[in-house]
Amino acid sequence: MASATLLANCGGSRSDSPPPPIRVGVPIVLTMAPFYLALERAYFRDEGLVVEPEEVQFAGNQAQLMAAGRLDAGFMSMSPALLSAVSRGAALRVVCGREYISSTCRMTGEIAGRIASFPAG
């Protein structure tokens, strides 16, 4: 009986109200297919996240959209737009980096987010 009570209380003080949505800028490129697959398979929802993708034509615009509060996070490469926004005081941070190197091409990508949207990191 005690173990059933402990299991029933696992999860702490989780609220029944949904969390605020996370607006994510997503460039229209084939490499974003895994993101859409995770969305379709409800991986984000299973983790208690409400993710709203916003398609962006040009990845460089995401830095300005995040700085203006219209996006919470975005997938982008290190760009002059991102560096310019940060140098002008925008509260943006690169939170994850990935790099793929092949003999024919070098591609890098980062995930950036607004500090106001993720105050606890």
Return the H-helix or E-strand segment holding 92. Answer: strand 92-101
**How many domains in the chain?**
1
Q: How far apart are CA 65 and CA 46, in angstroms?
A: 27
pLDDT-derived band at 6, boundaries 50, 70, 90: very low
In a domain, 31, yes or no: yes
pTM of the model: 0.63
Domain containing 58 equals 19-117
Q: How far apart are CA 28 and CA 30, in angstroms?
A: 7
Per-residue pLDDT reduced to its tens digit, 39-95:
999 999 999 999 999 998 876 788 888 888 899 988 877 777 777 888 888 888 777
The sign one gets for the Cα dihedral 31, 60, 78, 68 is: negative
In a domain, 7, yes or no: no
In a domain, 12, yes or no: no
> Rounded mean pLDDT of the chain?
76
In a domain, 8, yes or no: no
pLDDT-derived band at 9, boundaries 50, 70, 90: very low
